[in-house]
Structure 1
Amino acid sequence: MTILKRDLAAASALVLACAGTVASVPAQAQFGGIVYDPSNYAQNVLTAARTLEQINNQIRMLQNQAHSLINEARNLESLPLTIAQPLQDQIRQTQQLLQQARRIAYDVRAVETVFERQYRGTTLGASQQAMVDGAEARWQNSVAAFEDALKVQAGAVANIEGSRNAIGKVLSASQSATGALQAAQAGNQLLALQARQLADLTATLAAANRAQALDAAERAAAKAQAREQLRRFLAGRPRNVQGQSRPGGN
């Protein structure tokens, strides 16, 4: 580029010099048998200078196109880092913890069946031993649900360290991103990490609410059973004992 500018300046100076010569030299001169026409020579030099300027402009256009292609190539480069597989593994682990729920699974039909048999459908006319067995089963359901909730919470807490490492890697990759595609992919991976954290939070809340619901249902069933047992106890007492006045009364 510098050489072209220098040649253009030299050509322009030569044109000016030739133009000055035209005024003092005859239109045509002969030197050793060669005819020299200064005006024609000046016109040729000016044409060469214009051609040189056009070439210079074309070179600048090619340089701009090259820069544009380089930028487009950078924008199409993919981010060399992905945390998709670790996130999927962590979500799968949380799902496995939920699937390991004991006694009452996270299934609508299973919940309906167990509640119909052990809670809502409690037969108050059953034997005393059957009532005791039912109360024991409901208590075990509540204890197992609290244990499941603790396991899910422990799994969610264990994923915090993985989230911290993943965030650090993605942020580092995003800061060194060379194009729009890499920046967008880094942002998408951060959104995926947030989605996994929301999944852990959803699982934790579901497990905790499940335990609380079973505990509340167990207490409600226990109250109904206690009233029935009290009724039976009072019904089985002798009449003279039921009608006996309180001490000190007449």
Structure 2
Amino acid sequence: MTPRARLMPIAVLLSLGLLGTQPATAMTVIDPTNLVQNMLTAVRTLEVINNQASQLQNETQMLLNQARNLETLDINVLNRLRTTLASTERLLAEAQGLAFDVQRLDQEFTRLYPAEYKHSVSGERMAQDTRARWKQGLDGLHTAMRMQAQVAQNLTQDESVLADLVDRSQSASGALQASQATNQLLALQAKQSIQAQQLQITQNRAIALELARQAAAVEEARELRRRFMGSGTPYTPHPVQFYR
């Protein structure tokens, strides 16, 4: 049944009521059709207002959702990650022995780990180089162990950072907060990857120093043996008669 059909009996009743309550001299002629049209117009107006109100509510909820999605995360672990990463970088900068700079390393390596000792190099100089190579290897081991200790300390802080980020990510109220939490988790992963590379560098450096020391020791032993044997005719035994 249409709204107009539903309102038609109401309009008729209203018309009869008005006719019954008013005296004959003051009787007003009411057009039921016009009354129905007016009531239908009022109903349509009310429906439009209700639709507009619902639309405004939906838009308000949409704006609230957008505002929630634009809320930023209330935690930023970037400075904490930089602090722990700086601790391992400082150890690399303080590393003694062969420098991590390519040009300086080439100069020191050529001097201390020669592929061949020249004849003009004195025995005292070779002894000094042997001592310097031993010191280089010891410094390399020390740096690797310091790096291992620092990484172990940083793991405790990384666990705290990870717990905070996971908690914020799970309780994120909007897309931006979730995205920021994910980005910071990726930053933590990248930091740990860099830290692992630094640790591997110091460990491989210590191994390389030991291998280079062994190679230099072989060359030094060869040169010392050559000098001991000399370049003349080697001694050959021959019988000697002490008594006639």
From 118, 128, 135, give the equivalent of 1:133.
128
| Secondary structure, counterpart of 1:243 in structure 2 | coil
1:124 is displaced (CA, Å) by 3.5
SS at match of 1:87: helix
1:42 counterpart residue number: 36
Aligned counterpart, 1:210:
205
Q: Cα deviations across residues 93-130 of structure 1 (Å, max 9, x unaligned)? A: 11100000102221101101101211126633211111
Q: What TM-score do you get using the length of structure 2 for normalisation?
A: 0.86
Ranked by relative contact order (alpha carbons within 8 Å, sequence separation 6 or more), the top structure is 2
Contact 2:115/2:219 (<8 A) preserved = no
- Whether 2:10 is the aligned partner of 1:18: answer yes
Structure 2 CA distance for aligned equivalents of residues 12 and 81 of structure 1: 61
Say if 1:30 and 1:36, in contact at 8 Å, map to a contact too.
Answer: no
Q: Name the counterpart of 1:69.
A: 63
**Contact 2:71-2:177 within 8 A present in 1 as well:** yes
The answer for unaligned runs of 5 or more in structure 1 is: 1-10, 246-250
Residues in 2 aligned to 1:104 and 1:58: alpha-carbon distance in whole angstroms: 77
| Superposed displacement of residue 14, structure 1 | 7.5
Deviation at 1:36, TM superposition (A): 3.8
Distance in 1 (CA, whole Å) between partners of 2:131 and 2:223 is 17
Q: Cα distance, 1:176 vs. partner?
A: 0.6
Question: What's the counterpart of residue 96 of structure 1?
Answer: 90
RMSD between aligned residues? 2.5
Offset of residue 29 of structure 1 = 9.4
Identity %: 37
1: CA distance between counterparts of 2:20 and 2:40?
A: 20
Show structure 1 runs of 4+ deviating over 4 A.
11-14, 19-22, 236-239
* Corresponding residue number in structure 2 for 1:244: 237
CA distance in 2 between counterparts of 1:40 and 1:31 reads: 20
Aligned CA distance change for structure 1 residues 226 and 175 (closer, same or farther; 3 Å) = same
SS at 1:35 equivalent:
coil
Q: Whole-Å Cα distance in 2 between the matches of residues 59 and 196 of structure 1? A: 52
Normalising by the residue count of structure 1, what TM-score does the alignment of the two structures yield?
0.84
Question: Is the 1:14–1:45 contact (alpha carbons within 8 Å) kept by the matching residues of 2?
Answer: no
Aligned counterparts of 1:122 and 1:210: Cα–Cα separation in 2:
23
C-alpha distance in 1, partners of 2:138/2:112? 15
